[in-house]
Amino acid sequence: MKTSKAKRYTVDNNVGGANNLCCAVIDSELDIHIVHLGTMGVYGYGTSGGEIPEGYIDVILPGGREANILHPAHPGSVYHATKCLDAILWQFYQKNDQLRITDLHQGIVWGTNTPQCALDDRLVNRFDYDGDYGTVLNRFLMQGAMGVPLTVYGTGGQTRAFIHISDTARCIDIAINNPPNKGDRVEIFNQVAETRRVRDIAEMVAKMTGVEANFIPNPRQEAAENELDVSNRKFCNLGLNPITLDEGLFDEVTEVVKKYKSRCNPRKILPASFWNKARAAECASLDPDSIKIDASKEEKKVEVAGVAHLNTTATTA
């Protein structure tokens, strides 16, 4: 987070919004199904020692009692903390007011357009490439297309869950059409396609684009290396055939980057938000003015691609 003000805004906005939504649904007296697009970050990004189940985990309580409880929260950012607080609100309002709620724990989204959005330029999605809102794979693809060294945080040993934007839309559609019954506990799906290690993704993009990977100090407070095994059986059982990382699909992202490259501000590429004072101190040597776009990339075809307009809005979450 940038500042304490940003942290307060994030908590007030996200948690207050979730609570207000539940209150509005109750006051409406209508049978409404809430579908919340959340994050895998509620589980945390340490090595769990096994597969992360979908929302609920089997445990043995003192005295040998077996139970199936909400998976323990382990957020790694203020934003993720608000999603954990949202999850508690969903549980309360389902129990107290029998609201029908589905919570989607989504992985890192990559890609730019769904087939529908690709039909007309006026439907294109925003494309974030900055250190706050830009997701890691889209950032790498943008940097590779622009001839900028890939900004790999720390060792790049972070393992993360990924999903293509088209699958995001498919999953939401599946969730809407498979609501829980009134009185059922909150339905939770892990909305992911696969897991990959960040440095492996950087190596893939570097090989395609000829741009080197630049390992920089990590602005985030997180494990340098972690394993991640995630269950996504619920969506697959309901018909999802996940799109996995494929170099051919990367072309979609780079073409948009090339189309809107004039909107790129190189000073937005390096991280500008730091998880705490220690992270900020370690990243003090990072100079936004040191990032230069390689002009030779402008006419050279790059084996990757992109989607909509480049967006640099930054109030970190």
User: What residues are labeled active site?
Assistant: 39, 79, 83
Question: For residue 279, with 0-12 CB atoms within 10 Å meaning exposed, 13-18 middle and 19 or more buried, which class applies?
Answer: middle
Q: Which phi and psi (to 5°) does residue 75 adopt? A: -65, 150
**CB distance 82 to 90 below 8 Å:** no
**CB distance 245 to 196 below 8 Å:** yes
d(CA 288, CA 269): 7
284: Cβ–Cβ under 8 A, 6 or more apart, which residues?
none
Helices (H) and strands (E) in the chain, counts: 8, 12
Residue 187: strand pairing partners: 102
Of 197, 196, 199, whose CA–CA distance to 212 is shortest?
199
d(CA 164, CA 171): 11
d(CA 31, CA 182): 9
- For the chain, the first-to-last Cα distance in angstroms comes to 7
Task: For strands 310-311 and 127-128, give the pairing.
Answer: parallel
Orientation angle between helical segments 198-209 and 136-146, nearest 10 degrees: 20
